[in-house]
Structure 1
Amino acid sequence: MIPEKRSIAIMKELSIENTKQMLMINGADIENPLLLFLHGGPGTPQIGYIRHYQKELERFFTVVHWDQRGSGLSYSKRISQHSMTINHFIKDTIHVTQWLLAHFSKTKLYLAGHSWGSMLALYVVQQRPDLFYAYYGISQVVSPHDEESTAYRHIRKTSEEKKASILSLLTRFIGAPPWKQDIQHLIYRFCVEVSRGGFTRLHRQSLAVLFQMLTGNEYGVRNIHSVLNGLRFSKKHLTDELYRFNAFRSVPSIKVPCVFISGKHDLIVPAEISKQYYQELVAPEKRWIQFENSAHTPHIEEPSLFASTLSRHARYHL
């Protein structure tokens, strides 16, 4: 039995380049390795609901979630739009990592990135491999243009095979990507969710996440406006840069072991694109794992499998 005083459950505000950025740190034993989680989006933080899905993970790691610059509890009207660049986010991530290592007297930590966060994480481990034991890429973003084209073709083909007239009509209406109008993107995301390839495969899980955000202590109704404002702000200033990303060109190799975790039903980041990247990536060690019952958020949809996967890999390295 681990003594209670060795557990940790805190919220910590860091000052980074004149911005206040919020961390949530939880774990059963502070002697466990650190796991820093980079959330998706851009601008889609996890602090408001994630503890419901990481109880097992906290047995093996001290888990750190961070509302990135301009997101969730780190949102402020005073944040300069000129600081909303991938380069600034890379620097922020390195700052957070170095603070954690110093605060917990560690030499390295584990890094996990989900969706948008997985793109950011690749740049970070490329620049500072000395800070990390290993990297976990969850729903790994590789090339947003290719991912949308692949998902669009899948939805179009499946809807015609199943005679799903609504999806067939909608995909014909918006046409193939790239799309220039917001309405086309909205219709496409609707098609992804209806096809059960969106945020979660089961819609009730997405509703549960929304309920937890609204009723939890971290965000709640009182802070939901910050979450929504941060989402709009982040997407406005980061989406163009995100769509220019191509991991095949930008990050062809990394110097840390890596594990890529993909949901079989994911249509936001289809597995076939990230698996191709995994196959071509040069790394000291790499693994590919597919979660059979997940769409875009395997760490939420299959949390026990996620915890056991990461803990086995971490024990192997430690």
Structure 2
Amino acid sequence: MIPEKRSIAIMKELSIENTKQMLMINGSDVKNPLLLFLHGGPGTPQIGYVRHYQKDLEQHFTVVHWDQRGSGLSYSKRIPHHSMTISHFIKDTIQVTQWLLDHFSKTKVYLAGHSWGSLLALQVLQQRPDLFYAYFGISQVVNPNYEESASYQYIRKISDAKRAGIVFPLIRFLGAPPWKKDIQHFIYRFCVEMSRGGFTHHHRQSFAVLFQMLTGKEYGIRNMHSFLNGLHFSKKHLTDELYRFNAFRSVPSIKVPCFFISGRHDLIVPAEISKQYYHELVAPEKRWFQFEKSAHTPHIEEPSLFADTLSRHALYHL
């Protein structure tokens, strides 16, 4: 007797407040628990490349990626500018979660948030902890102002010690944050990348991600304009609110088990800030993991370790 096909690999368009929002859902067995992944940014979705890095993860979870309002495949010129707020994104996340629960006949999902997505996740968990088994915070954003200051001080210290290369004159020219001009943020991010603490620790992995986006069937060259338009649109409308976020004040406790994953080399969200938050956070259970070979994207840089870490600690649905 041939067993019923239980794997899943679909793209699904949802309509939320008259905006199209695209999901990608993949897994080896639909009976596995759901894992909803909130991408970084604002405005940098993962659908275009992430399947290449989640083969192991799909053995344990039905993995759901979502291009958030105004991002990637969910970008449209018709999206009202006034809807590009964190409170709207929280509502969207809850609606996506409730659709998943209904569609798959589940009672709860696991939640993962990366960078900007981790900021969003903390606030979703504040409002609706009942929807989630546990939370995995990847490169957890706590306070962007603190994080930029810590990163700047580290880069300045290292570049002063070496007094060579392009970073040394640039970081001295830039000066300490806060920075108001786009060019200042561009210089800072360039210094982060040159210091190997940016998107990936090894630059070849960043090029591999770009290659996956350009050649993969999910995005390809034809959808890169949506990605770039969505990135610009999202940053324009959400950056100010992002910099006002302070989890120490606004999210002192979470009612579900929390697991935090940080890349050792991450200079976008330095571990010293998120680890301080981890120590102060009140939660029924919490754990901290450091991935030694990663910068800002440990789920991409060390995908097998990431899948193993999540599967070993996602036991709340059993």
Instruction: Tell me the TM-score normalised to structure 1 length.
Output: 0.98
CA distance in 1, matches of 2:253, 2:120: 15
The verdict on how the C-alpha distance between 1:165 and 1:209 changes in structure 2, with shifts beyond 3 A counting, is closer
CA distance in 2, matches of 1:128, 1:31: 23
CA distance in 1, matches of 2:167, 2:36: 38
Instruction: State the partner residue of 1:39.
Output: 39
Query: 1:179, CA displacement in angstroms?
Result: 0.5
Instruction: State the partner residue of 1:16.
Output: 16
Instruction: State the partner residue of 1:83.
Output: 83
Contact 2:133 2:316 in 1 (8 A): no
Q: How does 1:1-318 map to 2 (within 5 A)?
A: 3=3, 5-315=5-315, 318=318
Range moving further from structure 2, 294-303 or 160-169? 160-169
Count the aligned residue pairs. Answer: 317
1:169-209 residue CA offsets vs partner (Å, 9 max, x unmatched) = 11111100000111111110000000000000000000000
3-state SS of the aligned residue for 1:214?
Answer: helix
- Which amino acid in the other structure matches residue 220 of structure 2? G
- Give 5+ residue unaligned stretches, structure 1: none
Query: 1:163, CA displacement in angstroms?
Result: 2.2
CA distance in 1, matches of 2:252, 2:38: 21
CA distance in 2, matches of 1:148, 1:217: 36
CA distance in 2, matches of 1:315, 1:32: 11
CA distance in 2, matches of 1:226, 1:317: 37
- Give 5+ residue unaligned stretches, structure 2: none
CA distance in 2, matches of 1:16, 1:203: 37
Query: 1:168, CA displacement in angstroms?
Result: 1.8
Range moving further from structure 2, 3-12 or 87-96? 3-12
Cα RMSD of the aligned pairs, angstroms, is 1.0
Query: 1:4, CA displacement in angstroms?
Result: 6.6
Query: 1:139, CA displacement in angstroms?
Result: 0.1
Instruction: Tell me the TM-score normalised to structure 2 length.
Output: 0.98
CA distance in 1, matches of 2:98, 2:166: 50
CA distance in 1, matches of 2:234, 2:182: 16
The verdict on how the C-alpha distance between 1:168 and 1:285 changes in structure 2, with shifts beyond 3 A counting, is same
CA distance in 1, matches of 2:215, 2:4: 26
CA distance in 1, matches of 2:58, 2:4: 13
The verdict on how the C-alpha distance between 1:166 and 1:95 changes in structure 2, with shifts beyond 3 A counting, is same
CA distance in 2, matches of 1:44, 1:234: 9
3-state SS of the aligned residue for 2:107?
Answer: coil
3-state SS of the aligned residue for 1:82?
Answer: helix
3-state SS of the aligned residue for 1:6?
Answer: coil
CA distance in 2, matches of 1:124, 1:219: 28
Contact 2:84 2:238 in 1 (8 A): yes
